[in-house]
């Protein structure tokens, strides 16, 4: 049975794609005025992105040929004026030093600038090329660049956060626990947050199609012991028996999605209970001949999985709903 993951956001944020999306949603809703709240419910691009791209919600509608749908007040010249536009380079650098002195530090983050400066960090980027260069010019300490994560590390982290929320995480959520890779790392590696999500979905779908639903199970030895596997490990790649037993990324995501990112026995899930830790469990234990395949895997919370070991009870089967797509 085919299994396809899809995104509800654009993967390419070119001006042409944004304009086409504005037109699509405007024509779909057919309402006047077209309010941002209603637009965001149907659109694959958030209204805030349109405002950043075109300068205002009204300008975005005009660019899409739907200016007649604007229902807000007129945008004044004062509103369009950006602080710092007419400041000299020396004044902008002095502003960075002022913020650093006010915070009692010799280095600044993007959030520091946006929260405490009279001008946004975008002005520094436009004037000096990057905010980093502006801070160097201002004589501030530049923090070492964060480590470069591999694609697999980014995907594993995104999988964990997706598993935690039981849905596609937002950019703000990837910057907080349980994420261990910040959003900027995804942007540096993939270009935009939505392109990072698209790359993850593509990888998952590739693995679902490329990997067999089952992996062969060598004959279990009497000393074999079933160990509960958390959902977050790719497992060793040294050709050992654990490699056959470990659940690949695509299959993991497929099982969790089928089970709605919830424990199939008690219904607990991380989005409701922060202490809930989901595992993928072999219904028929590996040591008793169970296979690492879609129909023999289910989602259990750590509490339900504790003490199960390699026990197998016929009555402890997932429901039909939990094992079918």
pLDDT in tens, 208-217: 565 544 444 4
Note whether 316 and 235 are same-domain residues. Answer: yes
Quick one: average pLDDT of 132-136?
Answer: 87
Query: pLDDT tens digits, residue range 280-308?
Result: 898 988 888 888 888 999 999 988 887 56
Residue 214 domain-assigned (yes or no): no
Q: What is the pLDDT of residue 320?
A: 36
Tell me the average pLDDT of the chain. Answer: 76
> pLDDT > 90: what percent of the chain?
14
Phi-psi region of 30 (alpha: psi -120 to 50; beta: other; left: phi over 0): left
Note whether 302 and 241 are same-domain residues. Answer: yes
pLDDT at 186 over 50: yes
pLDDT band for position 84 (cuts 50, 70, 90): low
Q: What is the pLDDT of residue 232?
A: 37
pLDDT band for position 25 (cuts 50, 70, 90): very high
Q: Is 152 exposed, middle or buried (0-12, 13-18, 19+ CB in 10 A)?
A: exposed
CA dihedral 37, 198, 154, 131 (to 10 degrees): -60
Q: What is the pLDDT of residue 147?
A: 64
pLDDT at 315 over 50: no
Residue 232 domain-assigned (yes or no): yes
pLDDT band for position 144 (cuts 50, 70, 90): low
Note whether 225 and 319 are same-domain residues. Answer: yes
Q: List CB contacts of 250: < 8 A, sequence separation 6 or more.
A: 203, 204, 205, 206, 207, 208, 209, 210, 211
Residue 249 domain-assigned (yes or no): yes
Least confident of 21-30, 36-45, 89-98, 122-131: 122-131
The residue among 47, 63, 80 that closes a domain is: 80
> pLDDT > 70: what percent of the chain?
74
The residue among 58, 80, 102 that closes a domain is: 80
Residue 28 domain-assigned (yes or no): yes
Residue 32 domain-assigned (yes or no): yes
Could you say which DSSP state residue 67 is in?
Answer: G
Note whether 232 and 318 are same-domain residues. Answer: yes
Q: What is the pLDDT of residue 237?
A: 37
Note whether 298 and 276 are same-domain residues. Answer: yes
Tokens of 53: 């791209």
Q: What is the pLDDT of residue 303?
A: 87
Residue 61 domain-assigned (yes or no): yes
The residue among 54, 80, 106 that closes a domain is: 80
pLDDT at 160 over 60: yes
What pTM, to 2 d.p., does this model score?
Answer: 0.48
Note whether 226 and 262 are same-domain residues. Answer: yes
Note whether 308 and 226 are same-domain residues. Answer: yes
CA neighbor of 163 nearest in space, from 245, 244, 230: 230
Give SS3 for 7.
coil
Q: What is the pLDDT of residue 248?
A: 83
CA dihedral 301, 302, 307, 310 (to 10 degrees): 70
Residue 9 domain-assigned (yes or no): no
Tokens of 7: 């995104």
Q: What is the pLDDT of residue 39?
A: 92
Note whether 224 and 203 are same-domain residues. Answer: no
DSSP state letters, 266-298? T---TTT-TT--EEEEESS-GGGT--SSGGGEE
Rg (CA), the chain: 25
Considering only residues 66 and 72, tell me which one the structure prediction assigns the higher pLDDT: 66
pLDDT band for position 167 (cuts 50, 70, 90): confident
Bridge partners for 300 per DSSP: 279
Q: What is the pLDDT of residue 286?
A: 82
Q: What is the pLDDT of residue 259?
A: 92
Note whether 303 and 269 are same-domain residues. Answer: yes
Note whether 183 and 256 are same-domain residues. Answer: no
* Structural domains in the chain (count): 4
Contact call for residues 54 and 70 (beta carbons, < 8 A): no
- Output the CA–CA distances (angstroms, integers) from residue 273 to 158, 173, 254, 258, 262, in the order listed: 19, 16, 22, 20, 11
Considering only residues 104 and 110, tell me which one the structure prediction assigns the higher pLDDT: 104
Query: pLDDT tens digits, residue range 220-270?
Result: 333 333 333 443 333 333 444 444 677 888 888 889 989 999 999 999 988
DSSP state letters, 163-179? HHHTSPPPTTGGGSTT-
Residue 185 lies in domain: 151-208
Bridge partners for 278 per DSSP: 301
Note whether 292 and 259 are same-domain residues. Answer: yes
Residue 215 domain-assigned (yes or no): no
Note whether 298 and 317 are same-domain residues. Answer: yes
């Amino acid at each position: 049975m085919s299994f396809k993951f899809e995104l509800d956001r654009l993967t390419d944020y070119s001006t042409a794609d944004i304009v086409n999306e504005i037109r699509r949603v405007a024509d779909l809703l057919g309402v006047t005025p077209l309010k941002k709240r209603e637009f965001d419910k149907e659109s694959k691009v958030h209204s805030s992105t349109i405002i950043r791209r075109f300068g205002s919600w009204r300008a975005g509608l005009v660019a899409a040929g739907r200016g007649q749908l604007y229902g807000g007040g007129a945008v004044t010249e004062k509103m369009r004026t950006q602080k710092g536009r007419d400041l000299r380079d020396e004044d902008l650098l002095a502003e960075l030093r002022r913020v650093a002195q006010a915070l009692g530090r010799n280095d600044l983050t993007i959030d520091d600038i946006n929260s405490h400066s009279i001008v946004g960090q975008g002005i520094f980027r436009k004037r000096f090329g990057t905010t980093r260069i502006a801070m160097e010019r201002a004589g501030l300490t530049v923090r070492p660049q964060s480590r470069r994560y591999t694609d697999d590390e980014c995907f594993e982290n995104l999988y964990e956060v997706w598993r935690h929320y039981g849905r596609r995480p937002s950019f703000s959520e990837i910057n907080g626990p349980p994420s261990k890779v910040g959003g900027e790392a995804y942007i540096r590696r993939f270009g935009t947050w939505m392109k990072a999500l698209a790359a993850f979905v593509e990888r998952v779908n590739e693995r679902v199609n490329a990997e067999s639903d089952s992996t062969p199970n060598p004959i279990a030895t009497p000393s074999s012991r079933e160990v509960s596997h958390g959902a977050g490990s790719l497992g060793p790649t040294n050709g050992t028996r654990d490699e056959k037993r470990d659940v690949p990324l695509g299959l993991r995501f497929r099982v969790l999605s089928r089970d709605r990112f919830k424990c199939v026995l008690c219904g607990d899930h991380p989005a409701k209970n922060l202490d809930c830790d989901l595992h993928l469990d072999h219904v028929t234990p590996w040591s008793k001949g169970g296979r690492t395949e879609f129909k023999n895997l289910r989602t259990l919370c750590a509490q339900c999985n504790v003490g199960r070991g390699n026990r197998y009870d016929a009555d402890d089967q997932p429901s039909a709903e939990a094992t079918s797509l």
